[in-house]
Amino acid sequence: MSEKRPCRRTEAGLLPFVTASAALAFYTLQFRPRLLTWGASQDETARAYPGDELVPDPDGTSTMATDLPAPPEQVWPWLAQMGYDRGGWYSWDWLDHYGHPSAGRIAPEWQKLEEGQRLKASRDGRSWFTVALLEPNRTLVLRSDLNLSGGRSFDPRTNPLPQARLEGIWGFHLRPAPFGETRLVVRTRGRGRPRWLTRPFDLALGEPSHFIMQTRQFHNLRTRVGRET
């Protein structure tokens, strides 16, 4: 009997490792691909979109989609007024809008949008999105460049690249649907440096967080657009 105890202890010690490995394999092979392509068709996932070229060698990318019950011309004003000090982000406001509710109406004073414009992402204005590409009623691509050491955004055109940084795009692509609706496809592409630090963080927190926030935004946009039809 005494000879079997070390073997049993070894098996018991391996059990957490085996369980964790199995859970990781299940997440990687089954759950993560669905999380990154939620609602999108295979064609939408494989297709190139305007703005992809802004992050040519991404560490990670996602393509998510939904149908909205109004034509692109009625959806666009909701997207055009996004921003912390504008209409909000229509997601979980307690997470990305300091608890302030996102706009429930289209506000004319928030409709001005142009390439190069900064949209605040935080109350203190230390982080922001830059309007990188703009085609009204069709394409809106927001770019983010974040200095991890300072926790604030930077302009890569006028500042040296920080050693620790995240950069990426958040693209909204609207297409008319057959029955007067809108097909909204959201494409993200991002990369970070140093990769050994940023990539595990993105896999463990960044991708799941984006899924939670993006699906909530889809729901809230659908609700707002539907009220007006």
168-226: pLDDT as tens digits: 999 999 999 999 999 999 999 999 999 999 998 898 889 999 999 999 999 999 999 98
What is residue 4's predicted lDDT score, i.e. its pLDDT? 53
Are 131 and 140 contacting, i.e. CB atoms less than 8 angstroms apart?
Answer: yes
Residue reference for tokens 């007067």? 180
What is residue 10's predicted lDDT score, i.e. its pLDDT? 54
Q: What is the pLDDT of residues 134-181, one digit of tens each?
A: 999 999 999 999 999 988 999 998 989 999 999 999 999 999 999 999
Q: What percent of the chain has pLDDT over 90?
A: 77
The candidate with the shortest Cα–Cα distance to 118, out of 77, 152, 91, 75, is 152
- The amino acid at residue 117 is Q
Mean pLDDT of the chain: 89
What is residue 23's predicted lDDT score, i.e. its pLDDT? 42
What is residue 131's predicted lDDT score, i.e. its pLDDT? 98
Whether the pLDDT of residue 56 is over 60: the answer is yes
Are 60 and 214 contacting, i.e. CB atoms less than 8 angstroms apart?
Answer: no
What is residue 229's predicted lDDT score, i.e. its pLDDT? 63
Whether the pLDDT of residue 77 is over 50: the answer is yes
What is the arithmetic mean of pLDDT over 44-51? 97
**Domain ranges for the chain:** 30-71+129-228
Are 81 and 87 contacting, i.e. CB atoms less than 8 angstroms apart?
Answer: yes
SS (H, E, C) 35-69: HHCCCCCHHHHHCCCCCHHHCCCCCEEEEEEEEEC
What is residue 189's predicted lDDT score, i.e. its pLDDT? 98
Whether the pLDDT of residue 5 is over 70: the answer is no
The candidate with the shortest Cα–Cα distance to 130, out of 97, 76, 168, is 168
Comparing 6 with 103, the larger pLDDT belongs to 103
Comparing 31 with 193, the larger pLDDT belongs to 193
Alpha carbons 55 and 191: distance in angstroms, whole number: 8
